[in-house]
Amino acid sequence: MDKRELMEALVEELNRYAYEYYSLDNPTVSDKEYDLKYDELVSLEKEIGIVLPYSPTVRVGDTILEGFSKYTHKAKLWSLDKAQSIEGIVEWHNRNLKFVNEMRAKGEDLPDLKYIVTKKFDGLTVNLTYNEEGILEIGATRGTGAVGENVTAQVKTIKSIPLKINSNDVFEIHGEAVMTTEAFEKYNETATTPLKNLRNGAAGALRNLNVKETARRNLSAFFYDIGYKEGEPFKTYVEMLDFIREKGFPIDDYVVECSTIEDIQKEIDYIKDIRFSLNYDIDGLVIAIDDIRTRELLGYTVKFPKWAIAYKFEAQEATTELLDVEWNVGRSGRVSPTAILEPVELAGVTVKRATLNNMDDIKKKGVRIGSKVFVRRSNDVIPEIMGTVQDSIDGSKEILPPETCPACGSHLSLIGAHYFCENTLSCKPQMVKTIVHYGSREAMNIAGFSERTAEQLFEKLDIKSICDLYKLNKEDLIGLEKFGPKKAQNLLDAIENSKDCSLEAFIYSLGIQNVGAKTARDLVNTFKSIEGLKNAKFEDLVLVPDIGDIVAQNVMDFFREEKVIQTIDELLALGVNPHFEEKEITESAFSGKTVVVTGTMEKYSRKEIKEKLESLGAKVAGSVSKKTDFVVYGAEAGSKLTKAEELGVKTISEEEFENMI
């Protein structure tokens, strides 16, 4: 086999592995084996100077484009007519029944109506064109429906999209690029400007000229329609979906056949129930006639196909007036704006406040005090402002950043897109939130330590650092509001007990920017001591799983601060004793598996079962997806268990779990 043939074989092999991993969720090789073959391919491509258009190396996304060219779709991408009530579906169904009966009377041999119900994804529509060799030639946005933008380089970063398939027919396939909650959260951990929601994360990624940024967002995709195809036509929509699945495209597992309105209503109720347990956004259901001949006869209106309709869920967006902007100080000293709104009902909740992130966000969205704004509520607890109603700007006021810290009056510095209070020693919100974080359960676990207690310690006892907690005495505490001798002693005991702590809890308690409990654990498992972390080099930090350039730099900057080193030294001198124990991983059925825990366990707290699973070699995740291997459930398990059953993920009761270990 010559080098060209070896390269082609490696490309085919790696693409097959990618399909098994991303589409089938059933990898047949380890990550290490894949990486070795990938590196071999990269070396070969450099050596012979050829990169095949469907090589997995083209997914890397290391180019910055000058602009987007236009692409004329081979067949129009239609919008769907919408119904927001079951009555709208009934009217549509009755029109279909009438039409089928009329066609039968004219001699057409049409089958009884059968509908295929699928989820309506809330991302960005993509149209992929494959040539007669089965190679992905063009990836484009919907655009006007007739003409879209060429985003081929961006689309190729989506690892679940096949770059080459086994087909000799030219065809176009429609799908939706989406961002999962896992990808969203991971991206935001290190993002300079965090993303606001999943949909904007996906849309912004595909319309970003910096393809490396698109790749960083780790998008997923679902495919559901063939818009154009040469060769043998499909007879039914089910046949079309089978073709999509067989060719290796990612397709959602939820595809349900319905024959009656009662069937459709049942599916609407079901998807409404599980909607917010999904790890991607949907905004409704699509109901489409299965028989292609019936579709052809029904045809189209000017805007919509007559053979399909979208059932839209209750609006997650509303319009209201922005009354004011309130600036608040966080633990890191960041001063962030919050919008105060005229109360508005949104998806069954009265919304009075919304997040605004920073001044760049305010300017980008054109938000002004007194203007009308679009407010959206998705999975976030705090709704967000999406934009401004342009004709409401007259008479509104510009939003200006504060000149000084709204809490302590100190000077503000602008770092990146955010304002920070420079008074790190005596700014109340900073100190109170720092102390509360230090005492939190996942950090030093100081029982009974609340924000109100931290406020009193700051105001009455002049506690200005976490070290001061270990200098408190009973007489001081008894003088505080709602503190008697017993409560004072309990708090002192809890503070004393916190001295004996794990190293990962201690590192998390220090409040390093973008370092959560999991990242702290990963750092500790790699560097094993405070000294190891202090002396860690950038190139060593970025080798830690899930740690990128920004977090690595944050860790280095943190341990370069003289004040930080002084605080750590003082804590150790006061008796704080962080210890690291190398966890022994027991080989088990859970080794290397992704496990989600849901419900209430009889024998374990949530922390205990998490630690137990990790000791068995499992990776414990917070949400269920196709990549979940097991869901361990206890009493009163809710939507996570339902979703696992829907996806076919193996579920294990607490009793079964006990038997397995």
Last residue of a domain, one of 453, 476, 498: 498
Among residues 498, 525, 545, which one ends one of the domains?
A: 498
For residue 117, give the 3-state DSSP assignment.
strand
* Residue 78 or 448, more confident: 78
Task: State the DSSP code for 214.
Answer: H
Degrees, nearest 5: CA angle 73-78-81: 175
Query: Is 107 found in the same domain as 227?
Result: yes
> Does residue 589 fall inside a structural domain?
no
**Residue 572 belongs to a domain:** yes
Claim to verify: residue 493 and residue 506 sit in the same structural domain: no
Q: 46 and 22 share a domain?
A: yes
The confidence score (pLDDT) of residue 315 equals: 61
Residues facing 177 on adjacent strands: 124, 221
CA distance 244 to 227: 12
**Are both 365 and 474 inside the same structural domain?**
no
CA dist 631 → 181, 496, 591, 654 (Å): 18, 38, 14, 10
> 102 and 35: one domain?
no
For residue 70, being part of any structural domain is answered with no
34 is in an annotated binding site: yes
Q: Is 185 annotated as a binding residue?
A: no
Rg of the chain in Å (alpha carbons) = 28
Q: Which two tokens stand for residue 604?
A: 């374990």
Among 297-301, 395-399, 639-643, the range scoring the smallest mean pLDDT is 639-643
Could you tell me how far CA 245 lies from the centroid of its own chain?
25
**pLDDT tens readout for residues 492-523:** 999 999 999 999 999 999 999 889 888 998 89
What is the count of structural domains for the chain?
Answer: 6
**Tens of pLDDT along 218-234?**
999 999 999 999 989 99
- Winning range, highest mean pLDDT, from 53-62, 314-323, 388-397: 388-397
| The pLDDT of residue 496 | 96
Whole-number Å distance between alpha carbons of 382 and 369: 19
- The pair of structure tokens assigned to 197 is 């929601």
Quote the domain boundaries for residue 513.
502-579
- Quote the CA–CA distance of 237 and 227 in Å, as a whole number: 12
Whether residue 401 lies inside any domain: the answer is yes
Q: Which amino acid is at 127?
A: N
604 labeled part of a ligand binding site: no
Residue 33 marked in a binding site: yes
> Rounded to an integer, what distance in angstroms lies between the CA atom of residue 19 and that of residue 16?
5
- Residue 65: predicted pLDDT: 62
Task: Supply the DSSP symbol for 582.
Answer: P
The token pair at 336 is 């962030």
Same domain membership, residue 185 and residue 275:
yes
Strands (E), 381-538: 384-388, 412-415, 418-421, 500-502
**Is residue 262 part of an annotated ligand binding site?**
no
**pLDDT value for 18:** 82
**Contact in structure between 327 and 406 (CB atoms under 8 Å):** yes
| CATH number for the domain harbouring residue 33 | 1.10.287.610
Is 71 annotated as belonging to a binding site?
Answer: no
Q: Which of 125, 151, 136, 154 is nearest to 215 (CA)?
A: 154
User: Known catalytic residues?
Assistant: 120
Looking at the structure, do residues 279 and 236 belong to the same domain, yes or no?
A: yes
Query: Residue 425, Cβ neighbours under 10 Å: how many?
Result: 12
Q: Give yes or no: residues 233 and 346 share one domain.
A: no
Same domain assignment for residues 126 and 169:
yes
Domain with 219 in it: what CATH number? Answer: 3.30.470.30
Q: What is the pLDDT of residues 37-61, one digit of tens each?
A: 888 998 888 888 998 888 888 876 5
Same domain membership, residue 115 and residue 247: yes
- Give the contacts of 134 (CB within 8 A, at least 6 positions apart): 164, 165, 166, 167, 168
Judge whether 98 is annotated as a binding position.
no
In a domain, 65, yes or no: no
SS3 of residue 221 by DSSP: strand
> How far, in Å, are 87, 206, 236, 261, 289 from residue 92 at the CA level?
9, 34, 20, 11, 11
Mean pLDDT, range 622-646, rounded to an integer? 84
Q: What percent of the chain has pLDDT over 90?
A: 55
Helix then strand then coil, % of the chain, to nearest 5: 40, 25, 40
pLDDT number for residue 274: 86
Cα–Cα distance measured from residue 274 to residue 252, given in angstroms and rounded to the nearest whole number: 15
Structure tokens at 655: 């009793």
C-alpha to C-alpha distance for 212 and 235, rounded to whole angstroms: 41
- Kind plus residue range of the DSSP H or E element containing 323: strand 317-329
Cα–Cα nearest to 300, from 145, 173, 129, 176:
145
Q: Please state the rounded mean pLDDT for residues 269-286.
A: 88
Residue 75 within a domain: no
Residue of 165, 147, 146, 140 whose CA lies nearest to 54: 165
CATH number of the CATH domain containing 560: 1.10.150.20
- Distance between CA atoms of residues 244 and 239, nearest Å: 9
Q: Is the pLDDT of residue 380 over 50?
A: no
**End-of-domain residue from the set 312, 344, 366:** 312
- Is 617:585 a contact under the CB 8 Å cutoff? yes
Say yes or no: 489 and 513 in one domain: no
Nearest residue to 523 via CA among 509, 508, 510, 513: 508
How many CB atoms lie under 10 A from the CB of residue 290?
Answer: 22
Task: Answer yes or no: do 518 and 634 share one domain.
Answer: no
Question: 36-50, 358-372, 580-594: which range is least confident on average?
Answer: 580-594
Burial class (CB in 10 A: 0-12, 13-18, 19+), 538: exposed
* Ligand-binding site membership of 32 (annotated): yes
Record the tokens describing residue 464, joined without a space: 């200005």
Geometric angle at alpha carbon 449, from 598 and 434, rounded to 5°: 95
pTM, entire model: 0.54
Q: Is residue 73 part of a domain?
A: no
Say what the alpha-carbon torsion angle 582, 588, 589, 595 is, to the nearest 10 degrees: -20
Region of 179 on the Ramachandran plot (φ > 0 left; ψ -120 to 50 alpha; else beta): beta
Lookup: tokens for 409: 């009056």
Query: Would residue 410 count as lying in a domain?
Result: yes
Which position has the token pair 């039409």? 99
CATH number for 607: 3.40.50.10190
The DSSP element (H or E) to which 224 belongs, if any, is strand 220-229
Task: State residue 359's pLDDT score.
Answer: 92
